[in-house]
Structure formats: C-alpha cells, structure tokens
Chains A and B, each alone.
Chain A
Amino acid sequence: MIRSDQIRKLLSKAAGIAVLLAGALLAASLCFAAPGNPSQLPSIFDTRSTPTKWIGHLSYFVLSITGLIFVVVFSLLVYAVVKFRKRPGDDGREPAQVYGSNQIELAWTVIPILIVVVLFLATARVIHSIQDAPKPGNAVEVVAIGHQFWWEFRYPQLGVVTANELHIPVSEAAHPTPTFLTLLSADTDHSFWIPQLAGKTDLIPNRVNHTWMDPYQTGIFLGQCAQYCGTQHAKMLLRVYVDSPQEFATWIHAQQQPAVLDENVNAGKRVFETTACINCHAIGGTVADGRFGPDLTHLMSRQTIASGAAENTKANLRLWIQKPDAIKPGSLMPAMQLKNADLDALVDYLETLR
C-alpha cells in the first residue's frame, strides 16, 4: 500500500511534468511561424539568415546533448525514488552503508569531460564563423547608433540618415549581399536584437561593435532593444524591412533626397524652425540640423513613430508632439506646449515629409 504522501508526491511530480509537456507543445507550435508570414513572431528558431541558421544548428545539437543527459539522469532519479523507497512493513534495518566507488566516480567524470570537449568544438566553430566572417566588397554598410529610446541608422556610403526602421536588401544565395552593421551608442548600453536575422550584439558608448545579417527572404522582421537602457527600454522597438534589390534601390534613392518642399505648409515649417524642434531634429535641406532626436527628413516613409511605439498616423503624430507621455511615458521627447493652431500647422507640415 502506497502512503498518501507518496501518492501526493508522485501526483505533483506528474503535474509538473504535464505542465512541462503542455508548455513544450504550445511553444513548439508557436516557435515556427507560418511560412510566407515572417513578421509578427520573432522566434529564434525561425531562422531567416545565415548567422541565425548557424546558431539554430548549434542549438539543435546542444539541445540534443542536454536532452539526452536530462533523459538519462531523470530516468535514474525516478528509478531510484521508486525502487529504493522505504516499503511499508520494512524491518527497520539500515541498508548497506556504501561510502563510494572510485570506478564509478571516474566514469561519471570522464564522460562529462568528453561531452564538454565535443560541445566546445562545435561552439568554437560557430563563434568563429559568425564573428570572424569576412566582409565582402558588396556588403551594405550601416552604422546603427543607439539612443535613449530610439535607433539611428546611417548608410555612410549612400549618404542616408534615418531612424528606427531599417531597410536592407535581401541576400540571394547566388550573389549574396549581406548587410554589415557597425554598432555605436550615444548614451547608455543598448542591444540590437532581431531574433530571426541575427543574435544580439550590444551598443556600448565609447566602443565599436559589429554584426551582420544576410536575410534569405523579403519581409518585415521585428525586434527590440535587449539591454535595459532606462525608462522606455520596453518601447525601443526595431523593424527591419528586407527589400528586394529594386525596392531597396528605390528606398535609398528616396532617402537620399532632401526634404519635400511644399509651399502649402509653410506655416507649419515656420513653427518647426522657430520652436525648439530644430535643437533635436534634422530635416535635410532646411536649417534644422539637430542630432539628439531622429532625423525627420522622410518621416512619412516610416510606418511607425516613437521607435515603434505607435502607428504613424496624423492623430498619433499630433498626440506625440503634444503629450509624448501618453504614448511613451519617460521618453526624452518633451511636450512642446504648442497652441492648437500651431500644432495643427506643424503636423500638416510633417505629413508632407515623405
């Protein structure tokens, strides 16, 4: 007859395992996004570029080994707990007092060491492949600068400065065109993480870091800052648009142009140029040349504002300027205290900056 506390123990163990399995199944189903819809779920196992593919392969290998270790040791544990439990009606004598065994100790020292060697070799290979990958001549070069709480992207060879939404070309196997990023920071530590495209790399002030990616398919890939950088770390979101070569060329060309000059919104342009906006923001071809905040030259070419915190709609733009705390409390955008008429004119102006 099994005692009630043993039943309870085994039941709760079973409960734990059931939860584990359910969670595993749930997550397995979520880990692999539907093909053709790469956006929305940034799973690390939905690998869409070479670095993440290599990382994926390494992780399957590591998971297999650790999984095997788990199965073996767990089985032994369950076996021990069941087989060597004190039975009711036990005679009360102590079992054989075994102090140890040198052979067994040797065995379970040597085997783990061998496993460690194997793991290390596999790991070191992938570390070198990714970190020491040579940069091909046709790589797209981007400089990413982390700010509290937005991303600045510069394409030095192409003369483009933009913010928050990164456009890079797809990299076909036939002629790869990877994107190599140089990572800098203007203030605190940040981390660039697009799970489907590359492992994280930090942006640290007074330090130059590098990462690269060569996405196989077009689409929109999501990520966000992965190193706590202050109050609005949570909404320092990332969007990477992987464009076809033509789309990329078109986008670059558009970004290289100075700001659209629309006579109808001169009132708003004057508001922009005569208030504090120009201290932080730049608009190409105008007097505004501030670097503290995002470049607004082609603001309307972006789908989101405030580094992904809100959709780029007229209402949101107006709200952002009037009361940033409503969208991203603690961000460094000040409430501009504009009169309604000025605010409307300003928003009309900004809406022309395609």
Chain B
Amino acid sequence: MSSDAIAIPSAGTEARTWVEVVHEWVTTVDHKRLGILYMVYALIFLVIGGIEATIIRIQLMRPHNDFVSPQVFNRMFTMHGTTMIFFVVIPVVFGFANYLVPLMIGARDMAFPRLNAFSFWLTAFGGFLLYFSFLGGNGLYGAGNAPDVGWWAYAPLTSRAFSPGHSSDYWTIALLVSGFGSIGTAVNIIATVLSMRCPGMTLGRMPLFAWLNMFMAGLVILAISPLTAAQVMLCVDRYLGGHFFDTQAGGSATLWMHFFWIFGHPEVYVLVIPAFAFASEIIPVFSRKPIFGYPVMVGATACIVFLSLSVWAHHMFTIGMNSYANSFFAITTFAVGVPTGIKIFNWLGTMWGGKIQFKVPMLFCIGFLFQFLIAGLTGIMQGAAPFDWQLTGSYFVVAHFHYVIVGGILFALFGAFYYWYPKIAGRMLNETLGILHFCLFLIGFHLTFDVMHFPGILGMPRRIYTYEPRPGWGILNLIITIGAFIQGLAILVFVTNLIYSYFKGRKAGNDPWDAWTLEWSVSSPPPAYNFASIPVVESRRPLWDLKHPEDPDSRYE
C-alpha cells in the first residue's frame, strides 16, 4: 500500500506571506515542528554559549591578562554554564525526543500536543529572560546585570547581602520558568511512550531510543523538581525575608548544596541518556547488526537512573561531611560506573563482528565511545573521595565534565544531526563538510580538553578570572585556548553544512541509511500526519522484517 493512497490537499501551491509562515510556526502543536524549533533554539544558544566560552578562554590564555574585567568574566562563566545546560543540551535533547519518539513508536503525535507547545515556549521564554539580564544593566531601570554567581548559585552568595540588584533573580526565575517547561515535556514523553505505541509494539519491542528518552523523562520529573523547590526557597529568602539559606539566622548553606546537587547530578544523566539513545540507534545501523543485549541495555539504563539519584554528594566531598557519608557517596559513585560500563561494552559488542561503515554519524559515535570511556574513568577517579579532595574545584573536574558533555554528548549529538537531518530536511548533509567538521572538532576538542586536566593537577582552581604565573599554567592555558578556536571553526563548518545542505543537499529519500526503525518507513520529511495508516509491528526492527522476509527478527524474539 503506498502512502499516496490518501490524497494530501496541496497546501503549498499559493505563495504564503512570511507572516503566515511565522504564525504557523509560532502556533504549531505538531511534534515535528516543535522538535525543529527546539533544535534551532538550541543551536543558536550553542553559538552564544560558545562565544562566552571563547571570551573565557581569551582572558585565560596568559597569566594576569586583562581582556575582560573580573566582573565580566564571572558573568561569562555563569552564563556559559547555565546556557549550555539549560538552553542548549536540554532543548536539543527534547527536540530530538519530540521529533523522533512518535515516529519511532508509530504514533501521529505526542500525547499532549498543546502541552508540548506550551512547554517549548516556556523553555524559550526562560532563555530570553536569562539573556535579558544583559540588557538590564546596572543603571537601566536598576534592573541589574547578568548573573555572576556560578551556574550552581551557591548560598549565601545569592542572598541579598552578597548579590544586590536583580542579577541572581534572572538566574532563578528564568530557570524556574524553563523548569516548568521541562517537566511538561517530560510528562508528555512518558505519556506518549506508555500510551501511544502502535499495535504490536510492546515495551520490549520499542526502539531503545524510546526507552531511553522515557527514562530521561522520568529522571527529569524527579530531578528538576528539587531545583524548582530550591529556587522557590531562594525567592522566599530574597523577597519575603525568609531564612532558608540565611546563615545569620541559623540557616544552612549546605542545604542549598544538597538540594542543588540532588537536582544537579541526575541532571547530567538527563543530558547523557539521550546521547546513549543516539548511539544505540546509530551504531547498530552502521555496524549492520542489531544492538547487542537489548534487555541488558534497558536494564542497565534503569539501574543508572536509580543509582544516579544516590550519588549527588560526590559534588560535595569537600564540605566537611563525616567519613561515613563520604564513604557512602564514594561507593554509590563507583557503583553507577558499572551499568554505564556495561553499556559501553554492549556498543562494542554491537560493532564486533559487524561490517562497520565510517559514515559521518558513525565517526561521531566512535568518537563518543572513545571519549565517554575516558570521561567515565576520570569520573571514577573523582569518586575516590580523597583523590577528589585534590581534583574537585580545579581545572581537572572542568576537564572531566567537558569531556562528558562535549566529548560524549555533543559528539553523539553531532552524530544524531548527521543521521536524522535527511529525515527532517529531506536532504543529506554534505559528507565532505561532515568529515571536515569531525576532524576539526576532534583535534580542537582533544587539544583543549586533554590538556585541561593538567592545570588542575598543577593546582589551578576553577572560576578564576586570572592566575599567577606558576610554571606550566600559562602554556597549558594557551594550548587550551587554541583548541577552543579550532572547535569554533568546526562549529562554523557544521552550521554552514546545515544551511547549505538544506538548499543544495542530495535528496535523501525515505531510508538513506538502510535502517530498521519506523521513522525510516515514511517520506523525508514525513507528512504532517506521520503515517498513512498506523503500522502494526512484530519485532524490534520492523523494517528489517520487511526487507528480510526470509529471516525476520520476529523469529528470534
């Protein structure tokens, strides 16, 4: 049965004014459109966050530099962290989930399309509000300036006494609002996955992408809420004279830390689990084998979700908890490495015995595997609390988490862009530009973040706008800065590719990668209704079954 069995009223024959186009996009409730909005939003903020990083790196490229003042620097690192986490990775991850989950489970849209749109606009508004803080200025309406309290906003630095003006309020309220958006999207993802699967698609036949995004959503509703609560408490302190974190009134600064990291640690799993989802879809296709150990992958991720709720105070090993508490968090931190390692081994097992094609998505996923392995190991190092007493608060931990987020998550994300762009835009991304992007970014990434471990080992703390000319600090920081510029160049190549290929890329067709999940069964881009008729599936790889009727997966599951 062909998909033109249903006559599609030709919507595009008359030229539409730009007003109509904008109106359509602003009022859309279609998961694919919202997905694209999230992705474009995230890419814009990726560039902005990257500019902030570049300013940081220029200031740090030699000791006692005066490229920017300490006040500006402190705003830069605060905004860089806040932007990248809340307005780049979370939106882009939601964007991919929104676009792909309904398609992969054979549904026409998410469970709650209007909630979907509302959640997007809440998140978007949060980002704009945060950046409005730059315009606020210290004199204009007395509104304040960009927040400069670090993205964790530790108390009592955020109290009225130490953060006069409204800069901290921009941080608090922007994230509060976007947090509601995140919870809305998470609720939507869970309801979609549980209630909207097509006939035959039991949970055990769902693509890992859907499973992992559901786990991510579960973690969001458990993790963002503590941050929301803490931010409400901070507002009570700042505006209603409350004392939640007011140490002068007997309040506790460490209470904020606990609440923040109860959010903060699961949050990084919220960021990385979708990266796992990308890898779990891309690596099998380019190894030409099914994912190795599907049930174990699901189980391991469930363990990760569960364990990640128990490790938070490994961010607080230096605050003076007693030795039993420190030991507890050390062992939970080590423990969460076990299911994570299992996943790495399973991806390896997927590649083993396969026929690996080094297309650009796969290049990025191999980079992801290599770098995530290293990042996980430096994480284990810091799980050893006494070792962490030296490494935390220094450039070592900055290197570690950038290794996870850039080397792991961003690489997998680039892979996802190259893999699914043909489905979204109907055209292939240029392969040559893709390889150039990969090589440049790989070199820049390693130059920056491999080297960055060493200043930490040599005693350089983080969040400092300048440093003394200790031996080695200068040259190491210079190399790090050079790597940053190379990465910036790579991003430029990437953005060029995205735009160029939209107009000039090779037409993709339904299934350019010879893949096996449902999204590749519809046209590129998919029609508004996704599927002419709701599919019925019998295995985890419905397209494999169709392409190999003599040996379908359904025989083995």
In the complex the two chains form, is B447's CB within 8 Å of A41's CB? no
What A residues does B252 contact at CB under 8 A?
206-207
Asked, given contacts A123-B330, A226-B393, A330-B71, whether A27 binds B465 with beta carbons under 8 Å apart, the answer is: no
What B residues does A233 contact at CB under 8 A?
463-464
Interfacial residues, chain A to chain B (CB-CB below 8 A): 3, 5-6, 8-9, 11-13, 15-16, 19-20, 23, 26-27, 30-31, 33, 40-45, 52, 54-55, 58-59, 62-63, 66, 69-70, 73-74, 76-77, 80-81, 84-86, 90, 94-101, 104-105, 108-109, 112-113, 116, 119-120, 122-124, 126-128, 130-132, 148, 183, 187-189, 191, 193, 195, 198-202, 204-210, 222-235, 237, 308, 329-330
Q: B383 CB to closest chain A CB, in angstroms?
A: 8
Return the contact of A100 from the options B296, B445, B551 (Cβ within 8 A).
B296
Query: Which residue of chain A has the shortest Cβ distance to B158 in the bound complex?
Result: A188
In the complex the two chains form, is A113's CB within 8 Å of B394's CB? no
Query: Which residue of chain B has the shortest Cβ distance to A228 in the bound complex?
Result: B463
In the complex the two chains form, is A100's CB within 8 Å of B292's CB? yes
Tell me the interface secondary structure of chain B in the complex. helix
What A residues does B439 contact at CB under 8 A?
8, 11-12
In the complex the two chains form, is A329's CB within 8 Å of B70's CB? yes
In the complex the two chains form, is A44's CB within 8 Å of B320's CB? no
In the complex the two chains form, is B162's CB within 8 Å of A187's CB? yes
Fill in one digit per residue for B426-458: 1 if any A CB lies within 8 Å of its CB, else 0. Answer: 000001000100110011011100110110011
A-B contacts, CB under 8 A, total: 340
What A residues does B69 contact at CB under 8 A?
329
Asked, given contacts A99-B294, A127-B330, A234-B70, whether A74 binds B468 with beta carbons under 8 Å apart, the answer is: no
In the complex the two chains form, is B348's CB within 8 Å of A76's CB? yes
Q: Which of B12-20, B270-278, B384-392 lies on the face that meets chain A?
A: B384-392
| A148 CA / B247 CA spacing, docked (Å) | 16
What B residues does A122 contact at CB under 8 A?
384
Instruction: Name the 6 nearest CB pairs between A and B, nearest first.
Output: A199-B389, A42-B459, A234-B464, A209-B320, A206-B247, A27-B454
What B residues does A59 contact at CB under 8 A?
381, 384, 386-387, 390
In the complex the two chains form, is A23's CB within 8 Å of B74's CB? no
Asked, given contacts A55-B390, A86-B355, whether A30 binds B472 with beta carbons under 8 Å apart, the answer is: yes
In the complex the two chains form, is A5's CB within 8 Å of B435's CB? yes
In the complex the two chains form, is B470's CB within 8 Å of A40's CB? yes
Fill in one digit per residue for B412-436: 1 if any A CB lies within 8 Å of its CB, else 0. Answer: 0000000000000000000100010
B369 within 8 A of A: yes
Q: B340 CB to closest chain A CB, in angstroms?
A: 9
Q: Which of B33-41, B132-140, B186-194, B331-339 lies on the face that meets chain A?
A: B331-339
What A residues does B156 contact at CB under 8 A?
187-189, 205
Q: Show 9 residue pairs from A and B whose CB-CB distance is below 8 angstroms, ordered by the A residue.
A: A27-B453, A31-B458, A45-B457, A66-B378, A108-B342, A116-B337, A205-B156, A222-B459, A329-B69
In the complex the two chains form, is A123's CB within 8 Å of B384's CB? yes
Asked, given contacts A90-B355, A231-B70, A237-B468, whether A199 binds B318 with beta carbons under 8 Å apart, the answer is: yes
What B residues does A119 contact at CB under 8 A?
334, 380, 383-384
B9 within 8 A of A: no
Q: A20 CB to closest chain B CB, in angstroms?
A: 5
B226 within 8 A of A: no
What B residues does A231 contact at CB under 8 A?
70-71, 74, 148
| A326 CA / B431 CA spacing, docked (Å) | 53
In the complex the two chains form, is A228's CB within 8 Å of B154's CB? yes
What A residues does B377 contact at CB under 8 A?
66, 69-70
Query: Which residue of chain B has the shortest Cβ distance to A67 in the bound complex?
Result: B377
What A residues does B462 contact at CB under 8 A?
226, 228
What B residues does A63 contact at CB under 8 A?
381
What B residues does A195 contact at CB under 8 A?
390, 459
Return the contact of B380 from the options A12, A62, A105, A224 (Cβ within 8 A).
A62
Asked, given contacts A66-B380, A99-B292, whether A127 binds B337 with beta carbons under 8 Å apart, the answer is: no
Q: B476 CB to closest chain A CB, in angstroms?
A: 8
In the complex the two chains form, is B351's CB within 8 Å of A80's CB? yes
| A69 CA / B337 CA spacing, docked (Å) | 12
Asked, given contacts A8-B435, A206-B253, whether A124 binds B463 with beta carbons under 8 Å apart, the answer is: no
In the complex the two chains form, is A70's CB within 8 Å of B320's CB? no
In the complex the two chains form, is A188's CB within 8 Å of B345's CB? no
B466 within 8 A of A: yes
B242 within 8 A of A: no
In the complex the two chains form, is A95's CB within 8 Å of B354's CB? yes
What A residues does B326 contact at CB under 8 A?
127, 131
| A23 CA / B556 CA spacing, docked (Å) | 49
What A residues does B366 contact at CB under 8 A?
9, 77, 81
In the complex the two chains form, is A58's CB within 8 Å of B387's CB? yes
In the complex the two chains form, is B393's CB within 8 Å of A193's CB? yes
In the complex the two chains form, is B470's CB within 8 Å of A42's CB? yes
Return the contact of B338 from the options A112, A202, A225 (Cβ within 8 A).
A112
In the complex the two chains form, is A95's CB within 8 Å of B471's CB? no
Query: Which residue of chain A has the shortest Cβ distance to B360 in the bound complex?
Result: A5
In the complex the two chains form, is A62's CB within 8 Å of B381's CB? yes
Asked, given contacts A19-B447, A44-B457, whether A191 binds B385 with beta carbons under 8 Å apart, the answer is: no
Q: A316 CB to closest chain B CB, in angstroms?
A: 15
Asked, given contacts A27-B458, A70-B374, whether A200 binds B393 with beta carbons under 8 Å apart, the answer is: yes
In the complex the two chains form, is A27's CB within 8 Å of B457's CB? yes
B200 within 8 A of A: no
In the complex the two chains form, is B386's CB within 8 Å of A130's CB? yes
Fill in one digit per residue for B352-388: 1 if any A CB lies within 8 Å of its CB, else 0. Answer: 1111111000010010011001100110110111111
What B residues does A100 contact at CB under 8 A?
292-296, 346, 349
Query: Which residue of chain A has the shortest Cβ distance to B447 in the bound complex?
Result: A19
Return the contact of B461 from the options A5, A66, A225 (Cβ within 8 A).
A225
In the complex the two chains form, is B472's CB within 8 Å of A127's CB? no
| A307 CA / B308 CA spacing, docked (Å) | 40
